[in-house]
Amino acid sequence: LEEGGELEQNAHEEEDTDGLWTEHFHTFTDSKPYGPSSVATDISFIGFRHVFGLPEHADSLVLRDTNQTDPYRLYNLDVFQYEVDTPMALYGAAPYMIAHSAKATVGAFWLNSAEGWFDVSYEPDDSSLLKNLFSRFFANDKLPVAKTHWMFETGSVDIFFLFGPKPDDIFRQYSTLTGVNPLPPYFALGKHVSRWNFIDMNDVKQTDAGYDLHDIPYDVIWLDIEHTYGKRYFTWDPIKFSNPTEMIRNISAKGRKMVAVVDPHIKKDENWDLYQEALEKDYYVKDVNNRVYEGWCWPGAAVYLDFFNPEVRKWYANKYQFSEYKGSTEDLYVWNDMNEPSVFSGPEVSMPRDNIHFGGLEHREVHNVYGLFHHMSTFNGLYQRSNGKKRPFVLTRSFFIGSQRYANVWTGDNAAQWSHLRISNPMVLSLGIAGFPFTGADIGGFFGNPDDELIVRWYQVGILHSFFRVHSELNTRRREPWFFSEQTKTLLRNIIRLRYSLLPYWYTGFYEHTQNGWPVVRPMWTEFPTDTALFNEEKQFMIGRCLMARPVTEPGESSVHVYLPDEKSEWYDWFTHIPIVGPGVVQVATPLEKIPLFVRGGCIIPIKERMRRSSSLSHQDPFTLIMALNKDGTFANGTLYLDDGDSYEYKNGQYLYKYFVYTGDKKSGSLMSTTMHPNAFYNTNAWIEKIVILGLQFYPTDVHVFRADYVPKKLNFVFDNQKMMLTIRKPEVPVKENFRLDIHG
């Protein structure tokens, strides 16, 4: 039979004029030894007008109707300065859709890592059967249906349907199947400073010192490809980075970290031990003729590790051991770039589809998952180098469903253009609902030079995304805040400090993501699922359940319209603490220094107001609680999670998860602090130094706090009767203790 099959194939090849067995693309030839193939299905979301998902695309949050346009494509590619408002393929792939209506939320994902194409069509369905089935939901004659067509080049039918019926159910179901983003190290939520490239060790030293000189916090400084010895990864340029250990330790002394890029291609150099070792072990991807595949990338001639071989993954992970990665320390983390994989000399700047991987897999079958196996190996390497004691931090450009378990992602090579700033919000929101909560865009744009207005507005957006990094390419002007005008530098400093004040809230959000799968930065409809006015909203979004943002993304925008949902909620301006009249649309002035950021009534938000040069130095600093009461002033609640921010000891119960709840009426109120997981404990010296209550409904006359001894202690306070805002300074209660605070009017 095998011989007969081969003869039949050869016969076809002789008369192949339709690309069935061999396909030509420019100068490239794609042979198809198994013949032509595709697998497809139609999925109709009955009763839905809004479908989301399918990252990664630089396009709207709601998937467009593709009847008159190209379909959405998923095929991981290295795209320089990508276009916006297009369904073209980018760096990652998540074949997952969510359909949402005021009555239900459902989802579907297809576990297929081949190239995929997706059509979406929104139309009414007049089928009498469907109308009869759904008549109790839709009174009119037109039943809305979102019809979708899914097609992959190859692979099996392995589809999962998620039936919700609520957004929180969908996130829980999806994360149960695909995994959550593990709790990141605390420093990862701070500011990341990067460019291609810091020139040498002195440049790193001067940049680091510049942040201290200008009193601007940051946490991580990054090194791109130029830090290596001739683009040999796991090495250092012997002249420009002659003493990497000392360089990293100087950074570490200030509580900061460093990240170095490690790409999957290997420089073809017969005199390099790493190249030769992998060659001898037969660890490289093969071409269609079973020879080591050779492409062209940053080092010039390069070969590509075959991460589908489990032995390669083990070998690669071991390269992160300190004994192997000379010059590295426990404060050096990793950035996996170019792992689509990028091949400058290949078709579509990637690897030929007929390349062969371990086990005889054709590359066309597994293309979109190559990057996942790369950063999985890196994550395991960082985990193993600390003997499982320290949390890894890995950034990847290429991703697939499940990548969130090992790495966070960014939106790739954007540009210093307002259109790229605008599109970053729906891109981050789409990634979040598809299981990737730790995401962001290169602030200021990777290509080009932002002017002062654009850089300020981009920072204002960037601090509202979970991954907060400034990065740009080789030929751009320097982006450090002090290279802009004095006014702009001051604005940028204040924006960065706002991010740092909110780190406890961000960290708590990521812990809660590990428990329920909720995205940290999320579309409005996830919090207000029955408000149809929010289903298309992509400029305005939520951070957790308590903060709402509508940042400026257009030049010269002196005001923005903000939709205040939920007639039962009060909304407060984050900066002025003044309540905003709602519900409905309000116009908010947006001078350059203004971020439209609002706290939701009924929420308690923990922050830290003392500024340090890095987040780790604030670990024992006191907390402030911002309590925004609901509309009638009777209720607010919130949580705070904290641990050592670095290790896995939280899995052994060394953490605190606090619950704060305020209840009151028109004459008095009480704030209770309790421990949600009483069997867990983290011994911190941090205490609560201030409590700010917004929307109090009475004039307070005295405030007392009760600690474990139940002996009341009278506290000093200040009351602003115009804002109805109560400020209690120095309640002096350790955050690890339970307490009660009583307010009487």
Question: Which residues are catalytic, by number?
Answer: 337, 340, 413
Q: Report the C-alpha gap between 295 and 76 in whole angstroms.
A: 17
Query: What tokens does 248 get?
Result: 């990293």
Angle, CA 537 vertex, CA 532 and CA 541 arms, to 5°:
115
Nearest alpha carbon to residue 69 among 54, 86, 93, 52: 86
DSSP characters over 677-692: STT-------EEEEEE
Tell me how far apart the alpha carbons of residues 715 and 733 are, in angstroms, rounded to a whole number: 11
**248 phi, psi to nearest 5 deg:** -65, -40
The dihedral over CA atoms of 280, 283, 284, 288, expressed in degrees to the nearest 10, equals 100
Return d(Cα 268, Cα 720) in angstroms, integer. Answer: 70
Integer CA distances (angstroms), 195 to 11, 450, 456, 470, in order: 54, 14, 18, 7
ω into 352 cis (within 30 of 0): no
Q: Which two tokens stand for residue 304?
A: 């590509």
d(CA 287, CA 303): 11
Burial (CB < 10 A; 0-12, 13-18, 19+), residue 199, is middle
Indicate the SS3 state at residue 439: strand
Q: Going along 247-387, which residue ranges are E strands?
A: 257-261, 265-267, 294-297, 300-304, 332-336
CA–CA dist 545, 638 (Å, integer)? 10
DSSP string, 702-723: EEEEE-TT--EEE--EEEETTT
Which DSSP symbol is given to 497? H
Output the six-digit token pair for 718: 């200040």
DSSP 645: S
Residue ranges of alpha helices (H) inside 77-151 are: 128-134
Q: 92, exposed or middle or buried, with CB in 10 Å at 0-12, 13-18, 19+? A: buried
Q: How far is CA 143 from CA 134, 166, 177, 553, 710, in A?
A: 8, 21, 31, 36, 61
CB 203 within 8 A of CB 243: no
Q: Which of 141, 147, 135, 157 is nearest to 39 (CA)?
A: 157
Amino acid, single-letter form, for residue 606: P
Largest CA distance in the chain: 95
H/E element, 579 = strand 579-580
The CA distances from residue 437 to 56, 96, 181, 462, in Å, are 14, 15, 7, 14
Provide φ and ψ at 216, rounded to 5°.
Answer: -120, 125
**Are 257 and 333 contacting, i.e. CB atoms less than 8 angstroms apart?**
yes
